[in-house]
Structure 1
Amino acid sequence: MQKRETWGSRTGFIMAAVGSAIGLGNIWRFPYMVYENGGGAFLIPYFVAMLAAGMPFMILEFGLGQKFKGSAPKVFSSISKKWEWLGWWQVMVSFIITTYYVVVVAWAINYFLLAFNQGWTASPKDFFFGEFLGLTDSPMNMGGVQTSILYATAAAWLMTFVAVFTGVKSGIERISKIFMPLLFLLVFIFIGRGLMLPGAVDGLEWLFKPDFNAIMDGKVWADAFGQIFYSLSIGFAIMISYSSYLSKDSDINNNACMTVFINCGFSIISGIMIFSVLGYMAHQQGVPVSEVAGSGVGLAFITLPTAINLMPAPAFFGTLFFLALTVAGLSSMISLAEVVVSALIDKINVSRKVAATVFCGLGFVVSIAFTTGGGLLLLDIVDHFINNFGILMGGFIEIIFVAWFCKLDDLRNHVNLTSEIKVGSLWMNSLRFVIPAMLGFMLVSNFIGDLSKNYGGYSTTATVAFGWAPLVLCLIFGLLCARNEGGFINVTGINRNFLKRR
């Protein structure tokens, strides 16, 4: 059996964990969530969600990974062989995410190069959907492969491969120590210059102007908990895998708190970055900020390029923004890759080099589908179902299993043993009641919405083939892997005692 690697330093682990948590959603989803849900008032439910759900869940996953020293399948198998399938469900979810997430990173790489001379032309919308994506009329009509996206996707996979192939300390930790300071530096430079533009302050006023009536809206609270859950990379094996490389004397609780605070802080400064630009754009066009505000792919690849075209130094702002987007995307991509690689190493006892080669090779082949003309539509469906059901179901079942069917007191004692900050009954009650209630509410709402009508107006064939079918595939994959008796040599009687006996 191979000796398990450890992080070279606490800073390296924090940088890697923060790199996983900080992704594209922090930049293009959080600012609009604040704007749409009461402005500055939204920060109240957001911080409540951070303290009541994000931090407890992060401590839980850091504790599980560090205690059982393994990937998610190994952790759940160590507790009970009957629950190994849950870890493989999460691994499969992460694998599917890598196959399309890497293509979005590829878009950012392409746009970083285009930014030097505003190659997205004077009409970024037409360029993005037409010349760049070659968008077809249906996800069932794939069209041809867009070569520029394919090459950038290959480059993104190569960078991911190098990171996971070279190991935790030499690869992931070293790259994270470069990427995270670079990302913050890029964003702060952008903000420093952006705030000097006319109209920038107006954009921030639109973002943070509080509407305290929104706090009475249950949907606002659900959005706050949802944003925390999605942005922290919890519930789909990433933090379990990363924390499995921690030494036995690591400060679990403090590490978790630092990761959560840094991630949420970055979300807020991302809001400042985005809305300062939107404020300038609205000022230049003589329209309210509400007419230019948006989120997601449209914000990053249409609205922002349009705004950059209006700026006094478009090459400066464009390269800065899309380099930041690329770095944020790659850091999250690497963490998703490690979920799969660590599980393969644990299960079939292959070397890291073999596991990384097999995973990245297979992942690249699958991701080619998302580089075609129908790629954006395919991505939209898969991402919707994987996020709204794949991640949520995995996180919901995990929290129910650990909080209610395992000896949570034992885990609390374990994380407190080497931590300066101690957790007690509030932490346990959050895991048993608050988090399951919110995740359950989100799941039920999502199911009602998607069963009542097809997502995005897509055909039933498309939603079944690219939405519901991948979820079934995750379940089948999990059950088949769990039935295989190979691997997971280090399953001890002590670990088995973590499961309650009824």
Structure 2
Amino acid sequence: MEKDSRPKWDNPTQFLLACVSYAIGLGNVWRFPYLCQMHGGGGFLIPYLLMLFLEGLPLFCLELGIGQKMRQGSVGTFSSINPYLGGVGLASVMTSLYLCLYYNIINAWSFWYLFNSFQSVLPWAECPINTNRTGPVEECERSSPTQYFFFRETLDISSSIEVNGGVHTGQALCLLLAWVITYLFVVKGVKSTGKVVYFTATFPYFVLVIYLIRGVTLHGAANGIKYMFTPKLEQLANPTTWINAATQIFFSLGLGFGSLIAFASYNEYNNNFERQAIAVSLINSGTSIFASIVTFAIYGFKRCVCVTRLLLLNTFDIAEDNITLDTALDWVRELNMTYPEKFAEIADQLQTCDLEKELDTAVEGTGLAFIVYSEAITNMPLSQLWSVLYFFMLLMLGMGSMLGNITGVITPLRDFKFFSKMSNELLNGIVCLFCFLLGLGFSTPSGNYWFTMFNDYGASFSLLFIVFFESIAIVYIYGMKRFEKDMEDMVGHRPNWYWKIMWKVVSPLLLLVVITFYIVGYIQGGTPTYHAWKKELGKTVVTEYPIFGQAFIGLLLASSISCLPIMALYVFCRKRRHGRRDKRQQTVMSVSM
């Protein structure tokens, strides 16, 4: 490897923003708020912040440090530490590849919703008319307009993973657009990526601030925010709360994918990665909390609008069709002026808006991002504007994370001699085209079930093993004293007691605990399940994966983890073969002499 010829970031700010754009993704918006709700609101912040300093921050800093020192991708980095450890880097590449295959379909959905937001009436605001023009589509009536638009119009979902069909043309085109933009973002390597992150890392905050300002002014928002910051301390005695806090920190920072090592490899040798690791980790956690405030404000608004509508219908003699979620607050003002005494009887209930029922049905993932939020948006004035802002923000979060995901694949490939001869345009184009073609499978009727499988098993459990072996490789094989000296050369001082204790003892032990809980959970969980959409019921039903699905899950779990022993065995056999060849050559030379 030629160190002097390696591309570099134009300045430290580009690297910082690249890490922020990569780490702050959709999980900050659609998973952290769900975990807060599930584990007692503000009480979840206690284990979450503890795990940030015990696990997330130390491991984040460790990856940046080794990447900046070795100035290679993940495969080259761990092969340099010890040839037998090349499988650690290869496992990172495999996991990043799995993530690239399915992650851009989320961006395709964001494009789909964004394009559909430019309509006089949002298409998920009301049920479409059936083909006979006699009433709404039955599937929509059984569910809701937002669920119907997501499951039928967006996904055209099948009844199970075993039922499939052709590619959804609209989704395929949106996926193509997402990959074209991804390619343009990385076409020149860090030279183009460094320019893009100025926008992808900052624009989501602009939208979140706007949403916060709007959210806190909505009816019932204060109740939602109050619920979030009211801790249920009894949840601290629940081990699951601590495990979920540890895994959320772990996954939200993007550890184990090789992307952070790749980003850091383009730094100047004396760049202060320690300061940047602290900054990115705190920004990431702060963003999760900030996004949760917005989400709980939306929950509060959504719950209060529903409660208001039901109270008005039950108290006043009004036809049910006359009061909709859109007009409920207008009816409040009118009825308050027309029937002040009768209205006073229900005023206290309107102010309370108990959130327990709403939060009992709260969801994470795509359900929160594309169903709950879109439903709340339809109840806001100027709903088209809020829809455009929201889905463009989701798109920027997704595209920003894709920059890191694809870099985690491309950078290690470029460190191989065969790929190093290719131009950036060619290599990046081949990788993007390959991922797009395989990703088309996620735009079929059963694609969402495969998406769920990849999301649950392709890039989750294996990462824990990868990062555990990363920490062992750096601290105990490369050597703590050696890394301390490297850090002194790069940032001007040796690591303090906090870093040493975390790297040598606390963080690896925490990883072992989390891995153990994951394994126990898988064993006790029985047959893996997924949520299949049943149009005749208008809801999802928990369904067991078929035999081929279970086999594929096993393949996903084993394929990346098995890179470690397979690569070590390959190196061992190669060294043994070379040793025999050298021995034969020495024998021939001695005979000829």
Q: TM-score, normalised by structure 1?
A: 0.92
Q: Please state how far the C-alpha of 1:17 moved relative to its aligned partner.
A: 0.3
Q: Give the AA of the match of 2:306.
A: Q
Deviations 1:189-235 (A, max 9, x none): 11111211111111111212111222232221111111110000112
1:235 to 1:475, Cα distance in 2 relative to 1, 3 A: closer
Q: Which residue of 2 aligns with 1:425?
A: 497
1-structure distance, mates of 2:492, 2:151: 52
Deviations 1:391-417 (A, max 9, x none): 222112212222332312221332244
Deviations 1:91-123 (A, max 9, x none): 010001111111011111111122233122421
Q: Please state how far the C-alpha of 1:143 moved relative to its aligned partner.
A: 2.1
Q: Check conservation: 2:219, 2:301, Cα contact below 8 A.
A: yes
Unaligned runs of 5+ in 1: 486-502
Q: Which residue of 2 aligns with 1:467?
A: 553
1:416 to 1:186, Cα distance in 2 relative to 1, 3 A: farther
* 1:310 aligned onto 2:379: yes
Q: Which residue of 1 aligns with 2:312?
A: none
2-structure distance, mates of 1:139, 1:288: 38
Deviations 1:340-370 (A, max 9, x none): 1111110132332222011111101110111
**SS of the residue aligned with 1:247?**
coil
Q: Which residue of 2 aligns with 1:153?
A: 175
Q: Please state how far the C-alpha of 1:244 moved relative to its aligned partner.
A: 0.4
1-structure distance, mates of 2:392, 2:113: 9
2-structure distance, mates of 1:144, 1:290: 42
Q: TM-score, normalised by structure 2?
A: 0.78
1:463 to 1:440, Cα distance in 2 relative to 1, 3 A: farther
Q: Check conservation: 1:19, 1:332, Cα contact below 8 A.
A: yes
1:450 to 1:218, Cα distance in 2 relative to 1, 3 A: closer
* 1:92 aligned onto 2:94: yes
1-structure distance, mates of 2:356, 2:553: 32
Q: Check conservation: 2:112, 2:154, Cα contact below 8 A.
A: no
Q: Check conservation: 2:85, 2:567, Cα contact below 8 A.
A: no
Q: Which residue of 2 aligns with 1:380?
A: 452
The structure with the larger Rg is 2
Q: Which residue of 2 aligns with 1:496?
A: none
Q: Which residue of 2 aligns with 1:499?
A: none
Q: Which residue of 2 aligns with 1:291?
A: 357
Q: Which moved further from structure 2: 295-304 or 458-467?
A: 458-467
Q: Give the AA of the match of 1:211.
A: K
Q: Please state how far the C-alpha of 1:478 moved relative to its aligned partner.
A: 6.5
* 1:271 aligned onto 2:273: no
* 1:178 aligned onto 2:199: yes
1:150 to 1:465, Cα distance in 2 relative to 1, 3 A: farther
Q: Which residue of 2 aligns with 1:168?
A: 190
* 1:120 aligned onto 2:124: yes
Matched ranges for 1:396-475 at <5 A: 396-419=468-491, 423-452=495-524, 453-456=526-529, 457-475=543-561
* 1:331 aligned onto 2:400: yes
**SS of the residue aligned with 1:311?**
coil
Q: Give the AA of the match of 1:357.
A: G
Q: Please state how far the C-alpha of 1:480 moved relative to its aligned partner.
A: 6.8
Q: Give the AA of the match of 1:318.
A: S
1:138 to 1:316, Cα distance in 2 relative to 1, 3 A: same
**SS of the residue aligned with 2:124?**
coil
Q: Give the AA of the match of 2:167.
A: V
Q: Give the AA of the match of 2:404.
A: S
1-structure distance, mates of 2:406, 2:565: 21
Q: Give the AA of the match of 2:559.
A: L
Matched ranges for 1:39-118 at <5 A: 39-117=41-119, 118=122
* 1:132 aligned onto 2:132: no
* 1:30 aligned onto 2:99: no
1-structure distance, mates of 2:430, 2:387: 35
Q: Give the AA of the match of 1:146.
A: H
2-structure distance, mates of 1:105, 1:219: 31
Q: Give the AA of the match of 2:266.
A: Y
* 1:208 aligned onto 2:229: yes
Q: What is the aligned-residue RMSD (CA, Å)?
A: 2.0
Q: Give the AA of the match of 1:205.
A: K
Q: Check conservation: 2:487, 2:493, Cα contact below 8 A.
A: no
Q: Please state how far the C-alpha of 1:301 moved relative to its aligned partner.
A: 1.1
Q: Which moved further from structure 2: 446-455 or 476-485?
A: 476-485
Q: Give the AA of the match of 2:63.
A: E
Q: Check conservation: 2:89, 2:258, Cα contact below 8 A.
A: yes
Q: Please state how far the C-alpha of 1:136 moved relative to its aligned partner.
A: 1.1
Q: Please state how far the C-alpha of 1:479 moved relative to its aligned partner.
A: 6.7
Alignment length, in residue pairs?
Answer: 484
Unaligned runs of 5+ in 2: 127-144, 308-352, 530-542, 573-593
Q: Check conservation: 1:384, 1:467, Cα contact below 8 A.
A: no
2:18 corresponds to which of 16, 20, 25: 16
2:243 corresponds to which of 197, 222, 232: 222
2-structure distance, mates of 1:224, 1:194: 26
